[in-house]
Structure 1
């Protein structure tokens, strides 16, 4: 991973500037305090005092160390949040870091003083250095946790805003999915074929004709008026899918067989809404060919570790394009992938591929439970 990528991934410039600005305000308050004491409380101020030493060797030196240290803490904090550490562990780590910041400032300051010749090695007083560290340990503790509070607040607000953006995008994608599905199903060939099948059935099987009309009506109603939730139970998703399957079974009659292999204990699991219908539609669209006039489709849902696996297989024509190429051409498939990415970030798997034994095509989706 390049240095630029690492900076982009772990260093947030706005947060660094926020921390630098906060500590600058602290130094300004300290500066005003020292100036007031020098003028109105001379008895409480040291006899020897140099503004140059105070501004350069104390304030500026301390400012650079603290801001640099807290930048590293901000990077570590982001990793803590990504790792989902417990609050007890996080607070314990930050307590140690709050003590370390005083030690580091003291060590660097003493080392600098010796290197710069401000204090000779022979005159260096370790006890005096320890006393200076202990004298401000409570102040370092409070300043450290104040800045940590800023870091966590910043990341929390950022996550809230990102979550709101994702939610808004998911809602928009769900509406688009519904509209695209409705548009797809309302294409003339779909309606003509379905209505033609119904017309034929009225003379052969009036009851089945009525059922097909009801399925078409229910399916379109589900697309338009069902819940706007981005995730629904697997049971509800299968119920919506059943309306579509009833219609296509009438259209393709004995040339299409659809089977399901689903663990009933998984019916309460939540899955992206309107996920299965476009997968079945894609399987039918690409499965039939001159050499494959009969098509068998199998829908499987099962657990694999901590993931819920959704698999749609067919024994039809193999695909000649890669998954990436299909994503560029298929609007419905691209929409599915975008929704999965927004819902699960990178914690999912989605691929359309030829089966290993060459017996057809399979679509595989893995999502966290």
Structure 2
């Protein structure tokens, strides 16, 4: 039997299919008890062959091996059909346990006489004597029955708990995926409207530049649509989309925007959230470049630090007033980014904002578990 069969306890779920397992287990129990009898007889200098001492024990326990699957089925069926508590189960199983013990005593007494007769035993007990002998030890069958039923309930409740936990996890995962999809869908039109507005503004100043921007926008939309529904992409794919976006912005700002990109080639295959950098760079351009007449500088750095992929966007704008770093009012882009990191990575995904010197710019850092 495969390892996962034992882990899932399939012999409890489908006991009749594994009848041989129950018989084999109880046969081994009977074998060792017979062996123990042989050792005991040898100790007290009483002569008896191993076979004579073993087969009654094996017979006794093999009968339980035959009864065991049916007891499990009965316990599972009653547990499934009964919505009441433990008192109802006790009321049901006590009489069934007594009847099963009587049935076991009848089967054992009959087979004990029949096999003893075939083996020409010197001291052959009658059916009634064997039956009464078994009834004298009635507590043992009752304990065995209770143990089988108890184990069945324990496994059933454990499996039910696991199934419910799995369903809850699946629901939570689907909810998280739905929320991520909503966040991503929110981000795409936000970026698109901003870019179209930039094109509209440029149309009155430079037709050729606006035309180039439209071509780049079509490339960007195609690349974005190819990853629709995908929450994570490789860093290489993310950087390719970011470069197209930056080409659009460089056409818009021309000499006023200087961009540098530095990526560690060793982490190109690492997974990052889809479109995680675009809203951060957009914010840097909006607040660090567009509002000032001086040349704007945007630096994008991607590296692995302390088990995290660190994505960093730095601008040379005004930054934030130091008293408001902790409670800055974030717009759609940063809020969206922070929520996506929380959904995908929990506390392991972070968005950190820091001023660069005194009025020398803003550093936005994204930490993603590698």
Category of TM-score, reference length = shorter chain: 0.5 to 0.7
- Displacement after TM superposition at 1:350 (Å): 0.7
Query: Are the equivalent residues in 2 in contact too, given 1:235–1:267 (CA < 8 A)?
Result: yes
The aligned residue for residue 28 of structure 1 is: 88
Aligned-partner Cα distance in 1 for 2:194–2:275: 14
- Displacement after TM superposition at 1:268 (Å): 1.7
- Displacement after TM superposition at 1:217 (Å): 2.6
Describe the shift of the 1:253–1:32 C-alpha distance in structure 2 as closer, same or farther (beyond 3 A). same
- Displacement after TM superposition at 1:290 (Å): 7.2
Describe the shift of the 1:269–1:22 C-alpha distance in structure 2 as closer, same or farther (beyond 3 A). farther
Query: Are the equivalent residues in 2 in contact too, given 1:182–1:223 (CA < 8 A)?
Result: no
Aligned-partner Cα distance in 1 for 2:195–2:203: 12
Query: Are the equivalent residues in 1 in contact too, given 2:289–2:297 (CA < 8 A)?
Result: no
Query: Are the equivalent residues in 2 in contact too, given 1:296–1:315 (CA < 8 A)?
Result: yes
Q: What is the DSSP-based 3-state SS (H/G/I as helix, E as strand, rest coil) of the residue aligned with 1:173?
A: helix
Residue by residue over 1:146-184, the C-alpha shift from the partner in whole angstroms, topping out at 9 and shown as x without a partner, is 222222111111001111111122122211111111122
- Displacement after TM superposition at 1:250 (Å): 2.0
The aligned residue for residue 192 of structure 1 is: 200
Aligned-partner Cα distance in 2 for 1:331–1:347: 22
Residue by residue over 1:233-264, the C-alpha shift from the partner in whole angstroms, topping out at 9 and shown as x without a partner, is 22221111112111211222222211011012
Gaps of at least 5 residues in structure 1 are 1-18, 45-131, 203-207
- Displacement after TM superposition at 1:342 (Å): 1.4
Q: Of the candidates 142, 149, 165, which is equivalent to residue 159 of structure 2? A: 149
Aligned-partner Cα distance in 2 for 1:260–1:331: 24
Within-5 A mapping of 1:74-85:
none
Query: Are the equivalent residues in 2 in contact too, given 1:352–1:361 (CA < 8 A)?
Result: yes
Query: Are the equivalent residues in 2 in contact too, given 1:286–1:319 (CA < 8 A)?
Result: no
- Displacement after TM superposition at 1:141 (Å): 3.6
Within-5 A mapping of 1:1-369:
24-25=84-85, 27-34=87-94, 137-187=147-197, 190-196=198-204, 198-199=206-207, 202=208, 211-223=212-224, 226-288=227-289, 293-320=294-321, 321-327=324-330, 330-355=331-356, 359-369=360-370
Q: Which has the greater radius of gyration?
A: 2
Describe the shift of the 1:319–1:357 C-alpha distance in structure 2 as closer, same or farther (beyond 3 A). closer
Describe the shift of the 1:142–1:161 C-alpha distance in structure 2 as closer, same or farther (beyond 3 A). same
Q: What is the DSSP-based 3-state SS (H/G/I as helix, E as strand, rest coil) of the residue aligned with 1:311?
A: strand
- Displacement after TM superposition at 1:310 (Å): 0.7
Q: TM-score, normalised by structure 2?
A: 0.59
Aligned-partner Cα distance in 2 for 1:42–1:291: 92
Query: Are the equivalent residues in 2 in contact too, given 1:280–1:312 (CA < 8 A)?
Result: yes
- Displacement after TM superposition at 1:142 (Å): 3.5
Aligned-partner Cα distance in 2 for 1:358–1:23: 69
Q: C-alpha root-mean-square deviation of aligned residues, in Å?
A: 3.6
Q: TM-score, normalised by structure 1?
A: 0.59
